[in-house]
Amino acid sequence: MKVTVVGAGHVGATCAQRIVENSIADVYLVDIVEGLAAGKALDLAEAAPLVGHGRSITGGTEYGPAEGSDVVVITAGVARKPGMSRDDLLETNGRIVTQIVEELVAVAPDAVIIMVTNPLDVTTHIAKEVSNFPRERVMGMAGALDTARFRAFIGMELDCAARDVQAMVLGGHGDSMVPLVSSATVGGVPITQLIDARRLEEIVERTRDGGAEIVSLLKTASAFYAPSAGVTDMVASILRDEGRVIPVSVLLQGEFGIEDTFLGVPARLGAGGVEEIIECELSDDELAALQRSAQHVRETVEAWERICAG
């Protein structure tokens, strides 16, 4: 199995590290900055005897070595800075993603594309339009990350292991995301029995602002440990054909009453990519919030189309 990771910054390099060190696949790391991907790949290759994996990792600036990739992870683009929203990155990152996907389709026409670059749902839309791949093979990593944050914050609140928290976040990767309070549990106990409504709303808001909170602390970078872990879960489920249900941004074609919009929803990931979209039961408020989130994504896609037309 082979994975190409585009972008050797914090997110991309940490993705590459997690994928090889978990012995999921060989990795080719690519970046336009001369020496960056090759240097980080060499460093990771030299660590292999110490961490005990036998996977290959190489790096470069050309897309040719991505040939035959089973999965392509795109992390390249401009990161947020304090005070910026994900949507502020639209024009720059939209053009970057367009060029990358054009290059990759030529050498890895059978790959599954996992988008990480923000604004996530729109760049995933762009990847689908440029590649013309079926929707099963183009998805965005956001729900896995947002869900991890939600679970972590609930665990912090209750002073329990986050792995015992079962929860899910749907919707767009931004202020309109929809943490599902109604179905969240800890050890099978509904969180609504453990945390009062006012405090739960604060946790929901912290989840929505999770990326901005880290940006404000780091000042010159955005989150990368948790995003790379989310990517690794998705890559593992696809390449190992595990069939795990993970919330990912995928093109909806009538599911949840939403048409032709990329949005984070539960999906079963296996060898074919998105093998099934799970239409879980939502409360009326959650469904309305999901549809508002879809509308925000559509408006941002329309902004991208105006940029292209101009």
Annotated catalytic residues are: 173
Q: List the one residue out of 62, 77, 169 whose CA is nearest residue 122.
A: 77
In sequence order, the 6+-apart residues with CB closer than 8 A to the CB of 51 are 21
Burial pattern 146-162, b for ≥16 Cβ within 10 A else e, equals: bbbbbbbbbbebbeeeb
Backbone angles phi, psi at 238, to 5 degrees: -75, -55
Q: Cis ω on the peptide bond leading into residue 119 (within 30° of 0)?
A: yes
In sequence order, the 6+-apart residues with CB closer than 8 A to the CB of 217 are none
The whole-angstrom separation of Cα 224 and Cα 41 is 17
Burial class (CB in 10 A: 0-12, 13-18, 19+), 193: exposed
Q: Are 273 and 136 in contact (CB under 8 A)?
A: yes
Q: Are 179 and 148 in contact (CB under 8 A)?
A: no
DSSP symbols for 250-296: EEEESGGG-EEEEEEEEEEEETTEEEEE------HHHHHHHHHHHHH
C-alpha distances in Å from residue 185, one per residue of 165, 177, 234: 6, 19, 23
Give Cα 290 distance to the centre of its chain. 18
